[in-house]
């Protein structure tokens, strides 16, 4: 089960940002349109889950390291020699799928798929946030892509595989249209290349239950 909490984020000019989990897009709408009874439903949002404000579920970041550079504060070991580093073929394939087909694999649909896949992975049940972070970092190095959307969803998949509850947040750097997605478990983001998730105001938070 995945609950979606969401907000209408005012822009300050009589309009507001609203994120659609159904279409995976953010819309800039008039307040009258955004508060209508029909449009949120069409966007895949439930009125009962609307909040006046949303707090970032992430309070700390575990592993940080610029893309394709050594991690800060982590022993300099070749990827694949430490726990969480031997990523095989499936995780990179899943990452690339989520990256290329995000229109089809919107967060709600993707989480449903990832939850089903996670039930087939009992071997990660002893993992913690650091193990998840190392694996996500190793996947990005292997595929040569560093993108927040597949990173957040891959993190959610690995958390589910390890029986860790998690939250996927989608935020915007208002008043710009720059978007960012991140996943945290117990308030910890397992891995982000750059510390900048706190620049973004959450528009929607997906509570992903184990």
Provide the token pair at 146.
């560093």
Q: What is the reported pLDDT for 95?
A: 96
Per the CB < 8 A criterion, the answer to whether 35 and 43 are in contact is no
Asked whether the CA dihedral 169, 190, 141, 74 is positive or negative, the reply is positive
Top-ranked range on mean pLDDT: pick from 2-6, 9-13, 69-73, 151-155: 151-155
Q: What is the reported pLDDT for 200?
A: 94
What does the alpha-carbon distance between residue 134 and residue 183 come to, in Å, rounded to a whole number? Answer: 14
DSSP 68-120: TSPPTTS----TTSSTTT--TTHHHHHHHHHHHTTTTS-HHHHHHHHHHHHTT
Of 146, 152, 141, 140, the closest CA to residue 185 belongs to: 152
pLDDT in tens, 8-28: 999 888 899 999 998 889 999
**Domain count across the chain:** 1
Q: What is the reported pLDDT for 104?
A: 83
> Is the model's pLDDT at 151 over the cut of 90?
yes
Which residues form the domain of 16? 2-208
pLDDT mean across residues, the chain: 86
Reported residue count of the chain is 210
pTM: 0.88
Please compute the mean of the pLDDT values over residues 173-202 and round it to a whole number.
Answer: 92
Percent of the chain with pLDDT over 90: 58
Per the CB < 8 A criterion, the answer to whether 39 and 107 are in contact is no
Q: What is the reported pLDDT for 122?
A: 67
pLDDT in tens, 28-86: 999 899 888 888 889 999 989 999 999 999 999 998 876 544 444 443 443 443 444 57
Percent of the chain with pLDDT over 70: 89
Q: What is the reported pLDDT for 72?
A: 43
Q: Which contiguous run of DSSP H or E holds residue 208?
A: strand 201-208
Q: What is the reported pLDDT for 5?
A: 95
């Amino acid at each position: 089960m995945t609950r979606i909490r969401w907000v209408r984020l005012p822009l300050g000019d009589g309009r507001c940002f609203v994120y659609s989990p159904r279409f995976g897009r953010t819309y800039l709408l008039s307040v009258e349109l955004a508060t209508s009874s029909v449009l949120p439903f069409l966007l895949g949002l439930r009125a009962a889950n609307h909040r006046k404000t949303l707090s970032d579920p992430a309070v700390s970041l575990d592993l940080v390291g610029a893309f394709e550079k050594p991690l800060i504060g982590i022993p300099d070991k070749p990827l694949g020699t430490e726990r969480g580093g031997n990523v095989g073929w499936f995780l990179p394939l899943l990452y690339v799928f989520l990256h290329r087909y995000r229109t089809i694999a919107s967060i709600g649909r993707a989480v449903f798929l990832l939850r089903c896949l996670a039930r087939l992975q009992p071997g990660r049940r002893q993992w913690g946030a650091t193990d998840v972070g190392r694996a996500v970092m190793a996947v990005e190095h292997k595929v040569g892509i560093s993108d927040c959307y597949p990173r957040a969803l891959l993190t959610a998949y690995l958390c589910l595989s390890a029986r860790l509850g998690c939250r996927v947040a989608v935020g915007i750097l208002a008043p710009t249209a720059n978007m960012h997605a991140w996943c945290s478990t117990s308030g910890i983001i397992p891995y982000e290349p750059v510390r900048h998730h706190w620049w973004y105001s959450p528009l929607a938070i997906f509570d992903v239950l184990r």
